[in-house]
C-alpha cells in the first residue's frame, strides 16, 4: 500500500461512448499521484481499445460477472491508501480529490468524505438540484474501511453501492460531507437503474438482509439515522 496514492477504479461494460470522458475527468484532477484502474467486465465494444489508448491506465479484463465483482477486482489490484470509484458513463467535477484527501488526513477518525451528485440528461442538461446520495463516485474512502465493512456483494447486480453503505452504517463508519458537487451522473437509455423491477428486487433483498443482521446483532449506536447516512433521496 502506497501512502500518498489515490487509486481510482472504473468498472465498465460496453460503455465506449462515455469511457474516455470519464477517464479524462480523473486526469483533470490536480492531485497526484493517481492510479487509474479500468476493469473491463467482459465488454464486446471498443472499451479495451479506449482504455489501452491511455498509457497510464491499468487495464484489467475479466469475464462478465457484474459491476460488484469488477469493483472488487479493482480493489484487489489497487495499491493506494485512498480509494475512489467512478462509473464509466459519469464524470467528475474538476478537482475535489485534493480537498477530500486533506479532510481525511486532518480527521483521522473519518473514513469517508462525500460530496454531492448532480443528475443531468445529455439532451436536456441538468434535471434537478444537487443532492447527497450513497453513490460511490461522490466519495473518497480510506482503504481500511473496506477491511471493516467488507467488499461489494457479488450477488447484487444492482444496488451493491447502497448495500455497502448500509453495512457501513451498521459498522458505525464515520462519514464527512462537503457541500460540493463532485459527480455528474448521466441519465441515458442504457442506465441499468432504469430496470425498475430488477432494481426493486435487489433493494428488497438488501433491506431484508439488513433487517436480519439487525435482529442478530442489534441496532448500532449511530450518530445519524440510516436514511440520513445513505441519502434521503433514495426512495
Domains and CATH numbers, the chain: 2-154+174-189 (3.90.550.10)
Rounded to 5 degrees, what are φ and ψ at 59?
Answer: -95, 130
Least confident of 60-74, 110-124, 204-218: 204-218
Residue 71 pLDDT: 97
**Percentage of the chain surpassing pLDDT 90?**
66
Beta bridge partners of residue 62, listed in sequence order:
41
What is each CA distance from 31 to 12, 16, 35, 170, 210, in whole angstroms? 23, 26, 11, 32, 37
Which cell goes with 39?
476493469
CA separation for the pair 181, 17 (Å, rounded): 23
Work out the number of other CB atoms within 10 angstroms of the CB of residue 145.
19
Residue 110 pLDDT: 97
pLDDT band at 189 (very low <50, low <70, confident <90, very high): low
CB 26 within 8 A of CB 92: yes
CA 112 to mean position of chain CA atoms: 11
What pTM does this model have? 0.90
pLDDT greater than 50 at residue 46: yes
pLDDT band at 235 (very low <50, low <70, confident <90, very high): very low
CB 183 within 8 A of CB 93: yes
User: Going by C-beta distance under 8 Å and a sequence separation of 6 or more, which residues neighbour residue 56?
Assistant: 27, 36
Residue 224 pLDDT: 78
pLDDT greater than 70 at residue 194: no
Amino acid at each position: 500500500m502506497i501512502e500518498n496514492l489515490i487509486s481510482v477504479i472504473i468498472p465498465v461494460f460496453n460503455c465506449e461512448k462515455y469511457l474516455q470522458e470519464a477517464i479524462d475527468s480523473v486526469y483533470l484532477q490536480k492531485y497526484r499521484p493517481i492510479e487509474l484502474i479500468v476493469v473491463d467486465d467482459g465488454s464486446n465494444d471498443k472499451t479495451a481499445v479506449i482504455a489501452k489508448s491511455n498509457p497510464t491506465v491499468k487495464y484489467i479484463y475479466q469475464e462478465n460477472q457484474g459491476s460488484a465483482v469488477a469493483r472488487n477486482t479493482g480493489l484487489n489490484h489497487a495499491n493506494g491508501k485512498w480509494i475512489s470509484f467512478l462509473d464509466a458513463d459519469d464524470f467528475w467535477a474538476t478537482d475535489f480529490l485534493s480537498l477530500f484527501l486533506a479532510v481525511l488526513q486532518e480527521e483521522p477518525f473519518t473514513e469517508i468524505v462525500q460530496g454531492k451528485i448532480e443528475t443531468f440528461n445529455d439532451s436536456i442538461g441538468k434535471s434537478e438540484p444537487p443532492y447527497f446520495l450513497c453513490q460511490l463516485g461522490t466519495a473518497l474512502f480510506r482503504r481500511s474501511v473496506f477491511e471493516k465493512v467488507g467488499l461489494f456483494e457479488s450477488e447484487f447486480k444492482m444496488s451493491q453501492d447502497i448495500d455497502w453503505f448500509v453495512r457501513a452504517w451498521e459498522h458505525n463508519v464515520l462519514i464527512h460531507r462537503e457541500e460540493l458537487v463532485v459527480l455528474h451522473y448521466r441519465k441515458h437509455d442504457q442506465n441499468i437503474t432504469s430496470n425498475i423491477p430488477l432494481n426493486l428486487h435487489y433493494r428488497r433483498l438488501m433491506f431484508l438482509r439488513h433487517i436480519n443482521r439487525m435482529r442478530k446483532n442489534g441496532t448500532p449506536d449511530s450518530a445519524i439515522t440510516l436514511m440520513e447516512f445513505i441519502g434521503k433521496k433514495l426512495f
